[in-house]
Structures are given as structure tokens and as C-alpha cells.
């Protein structure tokens, strides 16, 4: 494994990523998983535009630049392998319904999901595009959260499920299933989600120590 540290928001560095001497020998890429992301919560009384820029730059534009960098090598793989190459990216179940203070993070992941849905149309059949929708995963990102995080998976559980699911070249991966089912129901019943569940969640947060 050859690590190539890079800031995914740096247009110039991303342009040159696979030209670096450590990887100049690479003739193809069979799979790419885009996972770089940040989460910042918004205060609605101050819709800080620089916060929105940071989150969109990393979670959305970073994925665009990464895809641009990887596509030529993914195409090489698609042309020579018997199975499709994989382009996967980590979106979020926060895109299913509105969540409090997630105006920037949720919007960036919704943009990412649409980007992938649209890419899927243009890259098939050689490159299989997969959108990964996690619920809560135990990582440094979720350490900052001050609210209950039901059905949380460990990073190891999540990584194992994602990698084994990718073998089948799915269009999407959801994990865990129970959270997917719950939030799909919430999306179908917006009156209950926004009228009952969200007021309860925000009340809980206000009384939490
Ligand atoms: N944890 C969850 O519950 C959860 C749920 C849904 C979706 N996700 C998504 O899963 C992905 C992984 O998140 P995580 O939970 O593993 O969070 P994490 O522990 O905070 O990891 C985020 C990773 O992204 C990298 N990163 C951030 N900005 C970057 C940039 N500009 N250029 C390059 N790398 C950058 C970080 O690198 P450095 O450490 O070097 O900064 C870090 O390795 C994210 O896209 C996140 O939105 C997470």
C-alpha cells in the first residue's frame, strides 16, 4: 500500500495526484472509495458562509476533484478487466430527512449523492458507481456529537460490511439496515418526523448536560 497524503480541496495537488513519482508506475485502478469528509454544525442565527464553503469544498468539491483525478486510471481498468471498476463514495443517511443543525453537512452529502447518481448514468457499464449511506459510525467525527446516536456501528464493522458489499458492485450500500428502514419511514411520513420526532429530539438536546 502506498499512502499519498493530499488535501482533496487543493485543485493543483489533486490535478497532479497520480503523476507523483510513488505511483507513476500505476497503469490502472480497480477501485476507489472516496471517504474524506468533515462535519460542522450550523447555528441558524448565524448561517456562517465560510462554514458552508469549508464543508462543501471538502465533502462535495473534494469528491469531484478526486473523481477527476482517478477517472483515467479507472477507465484503463474498465477497458482491460472482466469486472467493472468501482467508484464508491461515502454519503450519509442524513440526506434522507432534515436534521437539526445539519444544513451544511446534509446539503453537502445530498449534493454528493446526486453527483454519484448522475455519474452512474455516464460511467456504466465499465465503472460501477456506488453510494454508501452510513447511519452512525464510531469515529473521531462522531466523538463531537452531543446527542444520542442509536444503532451505532464500530468503524471496523462498517469497513468490513462496506468492503464485502462492494464485491457485488451494488448501486448503494446502507448500514445499518434498521436505521435505513427507520429513516425511510420518516421520509415517507414527514408530518410525524417534523411534527413529533424532531421536536422531541431537540428537547432532549436542550436538557442534556
Ligand atoms: N462517522 C459517521 O457516523 C459517519 C456517518 C455518515 C457518513 N460519514 C462519512 O464518512 C466519511 C469518513 O468519516 P469518519 O467518520 O471516518 O470521520 P473522521 O474520523 O473525522 O475522518 C475523516 C477523514 O477525512 C479526512 N479529510 C478531511 N478533510 C480532508 C481533506 N480536505 N483532504 C483530505 N482528507 C481529508 C481526514 O483526514 P485527516 O485526519 O488527515 O484530517 C480523515 O481521515 C466522511 O465522509 C463522513 O462524512 C460518517
Query: What are the Cα distances from residue 34, in Å, to 31, 61, 68, 81, 82?
Result: 10, 12, 12, 21, 23
Indicate the domain borders of the chain: 11-207
pLDDT at 201: 84
More confident residue, 200 or 128: 128
pLDDT at 1: 84
Judge whether residue 209 has pLDDT over 50.
Answer: no
Please give the average per-residue pLDDT across 76-86, as a whole number.
Answer: 94
Residue closest by Cα to atom 32 of ligand 1: 7
Please give the average per-residue pLDDT across 84-97, as a whole number.
Answer: 98
More confident residue, 14 or 201: 14
pLDDT tier for residue 206 given thresholds of 50, 70 and 90: low
Query: What are the Cα distances from residue 80, in Å, to 2, 24, 26, 28, 197?
Result: 23, 19, 14, 9, 50
Please give the average per-residue pLDDT across 73-87, as a whole number.
Answer: 95
Q: What is the pLDDT of residues 151-199, one digit of tens each?
A: 999 999 999 999 999 999 999 999 999 999 999 999 999 999 999 999 9
Distance CA 209, CA 205 (A): 8
Distance 37 CA to ligand 1 centre (A): 4
Residue closest by Cα to atom 25 of ligand 1: 36
Judge whether residue 204 has pLDDT over 80.
Answer: no
pLDDT at 207: 56
Please give the average per-residue pLDDT across 91-117, as a whole number.
Answer: 98
Residues with CB under 6 A from ligand 1: 7-9, 35-39, 58, 62, 90, 92, 134, 136-137, 139-142
Residue 32: how many CB atoms within 10 A of its CB? 20
The per-residue DSSP string of 167-199 comes to: TT--SEEEESHHHHHHHHHHHH-HHHIIIIIHH
Share of the chain above pLDDT 70, in %: 98
Distance 49 CA to ligand 1 centre (A): 21
Q: Which CATH class is domain 11-207?
A: alpha beta
Q: What is the mean pLDDT of the chain?
A: 95
Distance 113 CA to ligand 1 centre (A): 16
Asked if residue 90 lies in contact with residue 141, where contact means CB atoms within 8 angstroms, the answer is no
Judge whether residue 138 has pLDDT over 70.
Answer: yes
Amino acid at each position: 500500500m502506498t499512502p499519498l497524503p493530499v488535501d482533496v480541496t487543493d485543485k493543483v495537488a489533486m490535478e497532479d495526484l497520480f503523476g507523483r513519482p510513488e505511483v507513476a508506475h500505476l497503469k490502472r485502478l480497480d477501485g476507489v472509495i472516496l471517504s474524506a469528509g468533515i462535519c460542522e454544525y450550523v447555528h441558524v442565527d448565524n448561517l456562517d458562509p465560510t462554514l458552508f464553503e469549508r464543508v462543501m469544498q471538502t465533502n462535495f468539491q473534494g469528491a469531484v476533484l478526486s473523481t477527476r483525478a482517478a477517472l483515467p486510471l479507472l477507465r484503463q481498468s474498465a477497458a482491460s478487466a472482466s469486472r467493472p471498476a468501482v467508484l464508491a463514495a461515502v454519503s450519509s443517511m442524513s440526506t434522507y430527512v432534515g436534521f437539526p443543525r445539519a444544513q451544511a453537512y446534509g446539503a453537502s452529502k445530498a449534493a454528493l449523492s446526486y453527483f454519484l447518481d448522475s455519474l452512474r448514468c455516464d460511467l456504466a457499464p465499465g465503472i460501477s458507481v456506488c453510494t454508501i449511506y452510513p447511519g452512525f459510525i464510531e469515529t473521531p467525527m462522531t466523538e463531537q456529537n452531543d446527542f444520542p446516536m442509536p444503532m451505532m456501528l464500530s468503524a471496523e464493522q462498517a469497513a468490513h460490511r462496506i468492503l464485502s458489499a462492494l464485491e457485488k458492485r451494488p448501486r448503494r450500500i446502507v448500514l445499518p439496515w434498521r436505521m435505513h428502514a427507520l429513516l425511510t419511514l420518516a421520509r415517507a411520513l414527514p408530518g410525524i418526523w417534523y411534527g413529533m420526532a424532531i421536536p422531541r429530539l431537540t428537547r432532549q438536546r436542550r436538557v442534556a448536560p
